[in-house]
Structure 1
């Protein structure tokens, strides 16, 4: 058993007392953000600031030259984490005797969706989720795999935690969320998270589904939830709402897509990492769940990564 803490570069940089203060808590390991989404954070003990606003998803180190000319590609951070903010913080933390692991957020990037709308998940109504890159798209998958390898294996890192390496959907989240007025429940959240971008439409077709019929069935299943006419029956209700064969085909496409991305990304990190490098995945043991803790099959993911958070 090891005591660990999640840390951001802005907790450490500019505060020479921070590494010793963290170590003094009995912490042995820090998981230090290397690629992170937009956020607003409190820093109550920092000598220079109390609130840090990270305006968009960014890498907290200088991205490599190999990204030049590519789309998508990672965005460098602004004034909240300038230069090699991750490297500066990592060296200070290691100097206090702390083991440093990286914290890498992958398929969650609202700036990417705003600037390149075609990369986003599209629901059955045609609405885009700019915070949710679709992991079925070839260019997006290549970006996520390469970002995982680069951001995970920073100088001196002994391991990594890969967050949002899987499907993203309706939940978790966008700025000033206002979606709690209708209690969709697990089945509703799942149906609202199904993607209908061109790549996913092609994938459903490979499973023998007629895509417009599927979209119509999803909207029909949601209609009673929008009106409050039924109580959500949870994920076991999805086959009843969509039809068993249709639900199974959708699940097969999504599971195959997420699993293959997880396998590719972890393999890329292993290829770039030194021996003994630990790879953990932020995960949810219910495969249909979407978000920062990607839905996984526990047996499968534990055959790929070293463990889960």
Structure 2
């Protein structure tokens, strides 16, 4: 199967051996970060550094100042971790090694946006804001995300794009110094803690016959046993079912608008994929979708497979012929990946309908992990 390795521009810039090293893996394609959230990343082989700290969500290229002029919400340029056109320079170097380059664009995940524009954030049933999670029901947020996708996805030399967080973000977040694991949340509890109660969402609940004030109370009541160490009340499942109609509609509208905007700027043959989960209630980097719908909108999906390959089958069962279903495997052993077992995992994924592989993450992987990927035989 065709495979693509995830990379950051800082994995390549300043390391003249990086493009050949990636090409030698046999993947043939790179998914290169172009608009990304804050992170702290290791660079195990770079000749100049070992740790890169991206201090805030940013575009890793110079944004079009004229296009963003006068807009309240706009992308942030990167700092020293990705100066100038870091994406463009890295993409050119990778293409020079014979690799196809696709842009990797993170959308509804931006802590700096939430800090500077707190009204854009998801607000839970207790009134707590999630600054990392822009609320996609808000028209100004949706307009910003659509414009960002259209600009970031179609960078010079990109053959396609992969859109991450193109939907709802919620409670779950790899936050620095996270201290929320003391109370275990099952899927329903996490969903309820991810429900938004900003003004836009409250209006949306009203449109489907739900009183937002009453809904807040019912969500808190359903969650109350959880904080005492018990299970979410049975009413939690009912609340999830009752609110999912609105949230699914909002996510679909965003995804349709984003894909349309990207295609409007792209050349013929440009592929648009979404990082996706076949369970519509899911939030986060791999957004919850209805498989038949999203495969009728985008050219395909990138499906998380670090915990197993079972999420592939719903897409394969409902996707049209030619849809891309990429199985995303972690190949960093320190992050729970199994690089030596990639061939075995790939075969299992193919049996469930996967058409391509994704390797997360060639820049973060140790030399031993990359050698294990090569020796696995998965990439030919």
Q: Same fold (TM over 0.5)?
A: yes
Q: Quick check: 2:100–2:159 contact (8 Å CA) kept in 1?
A: yes
Q: Secondary structure at the match of 1:3?
A: strand
1:6-65 CA-to-partner distances (Å, cap 9, x unmatched) read: 011001111111101110111200000000000011111111111100000000000012
Please give the root-mean-square deviation of Cα atoms over the aligned residues, in Å.
1.2
Partner of 2:272: 279
Runs of 4+ in structure 1 deviating by more than 4 angstroms, as ranges, are none
> Which runs of 5 or more residues in structure 2 are unaligned?
303-380
TM-score if structure 1 supplies the norm length? 0.95
Q: Secondary structure at the match of 1:303?
A: helix
- In 2, Cα distance between the equivalents of 1:173 and 1:23? 30
1:288 aligns with 2:281: yes
Partner of 1:96: 97
1:1-309 equivalence runs, <5 A: 1-65=1-65, 66-230=67-231, 240-242=234-236, 244=238, 247-309=240-302
Q: Quick check: 1:172–1:292 contact (8 Å CA) kept in 2?
A: no
Q: Quick check: 1:131–1:173 contact (8 Å CA) kept in 2?
A: no
Q: Secondary structure at the match of 2:269?
A: coil
> Which runs of 5 or more residues in structure 1 are unaligned?
none
- In 1, Cα distance between the equivalents of 2:102 and 2:150? 13
Mean Cα deviation higher: 164-173 or 101-110: 164-173
Q: CA deviation at 1:2?
A: 1.0
- In 1, Cα distance between the equivalents of 2:6 and 2:250? 29
Q: Secondary structure at the match of 1:282?
A: strand
- In 2, Cα distance between the equivalents of 1:20 and 1:247? 49
- In 1, Cα distance between the equivalents of 2:242 and 2:107? 26
Q: Quick check: 2:188–2:240 contact (8 Å CA) kept in 1?
A: no
Distance 1:242-1:17 versus aligned 2 partners, 3 A rule: closer
Q: CA deviation at 1:242?
A: 4.5
Q: Secondary structure at the match of 1:173?
A: coil
Q: CA deviation at 1:68?
A: 1.7
- In 2, Cα distance between the equivalents of 1:193 and 1:179? 14
Q: CA deviation at 1:198?
A: 0.5
Distance 1:249-1:49 versus aligned 2 partners, 3 A rule: same
Q: CA deviation at 1:173?
A: 3.3
Number of corresponding residues: 301
